[in-house]
Amino acid sequence: MTDRLRVLFIAFYYPPTSGGGVERTIQFSRRLPQLGIDVEMLVPTDAKWLAEDPASVSRIPADVTVHRIKYRGPSLRQLPGDRIRQAPTTARKLAVRASLAPQRLFLPDANAPWLADVVPAALRLLKTGRFDAFITTTPPHTVAVAGRLTRARTDVPWIADWRDPWLTHADLDLSRADVRAKQAAIARLARWCVGGMDAASVVDHAEDEVRGLRPDLPLAVIPNGIDLEELAAVERHPDPDHCTFAFTGWFFGDRSPRHLLQAVADLVRDRPELRDVVRLRFMGGFPDADRRRVDDLGLAELVAIEPPAPHADALQAQADADVALIFMQDGGGHGEKFLPGKVWELLACGRPVLAMLPPDGAAARELRAVDAAIVAPDDVAGARAAVERYVDEWSAGQLPSPVLADGVRTRISRQTQAEAFAELIRSTATR
């Protein structure tokens, strides 16, 4: 094997923080040492994030050193919109809204206060001379700013991992003037950050964004993916009495299951015998407005809403489902390019998929590899038809079990991606 390298990996989301944003980072930190690249992590002591799994710390390999530093920024244990909606009175709602207003002034995001601690900590570690490169992974994009500030004061090369688009994210409400103004400022900040990078890795749907910011930047396109071995080890335990449709994750931005709920309400109204058959299971964050909609539509007995759960439990819920669900809004056209990390789990989970997302988008193109039912985000009639077809197939014992092609499995494998990332690190460190 070639000489071993050592990298400092700066991340905001890392166990015990949990959620989709953790998986790519922890898989890199687990697999790079096997490829001759030792890893030390620089992460918050407490990210104050809305999903946490203390047991997930056991997933950190013993050969990965983790440096934890204090995070002094605002808490996101509850999303701002939920905090406002849950305030009991109008006066209290206004007070909560006012208390949250200063966060909107932070650039690039609410986590900006971490810069005061993470940059000095990174410099102290890099000045020891034991690192061949340092890596940042975003979002939050505060970490990219930390990378730029750090690179300006060290000769150690910087590789930026770009897990999601920064400027064209599907959850942005660009109909608002204040959002557009902030995005204009963030665009300038992003261009400044990219100007200091020595190389970058990006997921598929962020490639155009990064190339547009700096065409000459050495760039490796490394898609999101899945630990196929971990998924294969999950044994399926379905509910034999119900056809269960399951979603695990969070409804960020204006994503919502409301059109699916309406579709199921219409279906059981016209076919009341299906009230004893259909079940919807949601594990993770669920919008308050849709909780009320469940009751208003008379679906309380059909819908299970469960709190966030550890990663292993979410994989188990997907395996136990008869049909897996995914949602993605149009996002002013940006949703067509967006590829949620959930896509890769659903490709490999072996279950039929009902996908309510832009039919011509990147996520739809990927999910067609497993013959997913693709329905536009607001297409109630289309969702009803898909649900009815799957329920009838379940009742007849004819639900399909999609098998992923070998070529797709290789492309979305975390091992394949770690190998590509290791190659990028070596080429950057020796350039």
Along the 431 residues of the chain, how does pLDDT read in single tens digits?
458 999 999 999 999 998 778 989 999 999 999 999 999 999 999 988 877 888 889 999 999 999 999 998 887 776 666 666 677 777 776 665 666 565 666 788 889 999 999 999 999 999 999 999 999 999 999 999 999 999 999 999 999 999 988 887 656 666 677 777 777 888 899 999 999 999 999 998 889 899 999 999 999 999 888 888 888 899 999 999 999 999 998 887 778 999 999 999 999 999 999 999 999 999 988 888 899 999 999 999 999 999 888 888 988 999 999 999 999 887 655 556 677 778 888 888 889 999 999 999 888 998 998 899 999 999 999 999 999 999 999 999 999 989 888 888 898 899 999 999 999 999 999 87
What is d(CA 142, CA 124) in angstroms, rounded to the nearest whole number?
19
Predicted TM-score of the model (pTM): 0.83
- Note whether 150 and 133 are within 8 A (CB): no
Check which CATH number belongs to the domain holding 235 and give it.
3.40.50.2000
**Lookup: tokens for 203:** 């997921």
Question: For position 101, what pLDDT does the model report?
Answer: 61
205 and 246 belong to one structural domain: no
Residue 119 DSSP SS3? helix
* Helix 258-270 × helix 380-395 angle, to 10°: 60
- Number of folded domains in the chain? 2
Domain identity same for 163 and 267: no
**What pLDDT is recorded for position 78?**
66
Beta strands in 271-389 (DSSP E): 278-284, 303-306, 323-327, 353-356, 373-375
Say if residue 108 is preceded by a cis peptide, omega within 30 of 0. yes
Q: DSSP class of residue 226?
A: B
- On whether both 282 and 255 belong to a single domain, the answer is yes
Q: Write the CB contacts of 322 (distance below 8 Å, at least 6 apart in sequence).
A: 238, 243, 244, 245, 351, 352, 390, 394, 399
User: Do 245 and 356 lie in a common domain?
Assistant: yes
Helix H or strand E segment including 68: strand 65-69
Q: Which of these, 335, 404, 329, lies nearest to 368 by C-alpha position?
A: 404
pLDDT confidence of residue 246: 97
- Taking the C-alpha atoms of residue 116 and residue 146, their distance in angstroms, rounded to an integer, is 9
- The DSSP 8-state label assigned to residue 4 in this structure reads P
- pLDDT value at residue 1: 42
pLDDT of res. 172: 61
What's the pLDDT at 299?
Answer: 97
Strand 278-284 to 303-306 pairing: parallel
Asked whether residue 218 falls in the same domain as residue 332, the answer is no
Does 168 lie in the same domain as 26?
A: yes
Are residues 304 and 245 part of one domain?
Answer: yes
Q: Do residue 284 and residue 425 come from a single domain? A: no
Rounded CA gap, 85 and 75, in Å? 17
Do 163 and 283 lie in a common domain? Answer: no
For residues 85-100, b (16+ Cβ closer than 10 Å) or e, as one string? eeeeeeeeeeebeeee
Tokens of 343: 């896509």
User: Is the separation of the CB atoms in 85 and 289 below 8 Å?
Assistant: yes
Same domain, 241 and 312: yes
365 near 337, Cβ under 8 Å? Answer: no
> Looking up tokens 């995001």, which residue turns up?
109
| Confidence at residue 390, expressed as pLDDT on a 0 to 100 scale | 97
Asked if residue 247 and residue 216 are part of one domain, the reply reads: no
Interatomic CA distance for residues 290 and 261, integer angstroms: 9
User: Which of 332, 282, 324, 294 lies closest to 168 in space, CA to CA?
Assistant: 332
* Same domain as 219, residue 259: no
Domain that holds residue 219: 5-225+413-429
Measure the CA–CA gap between 139 and 266, rounded to whole angstroms: 39
Residue 31 CA from chain centroid, whole number: 20
Contact 41, 57 (CB under 8 A): no
Place of tokens 């890199």: 28
One-letter amino acid of 350: G
Contact at 8 Å (CB) between 227 and 27?
yes
Residues 86 and 125: beta-carbon distance below 8 Å: no
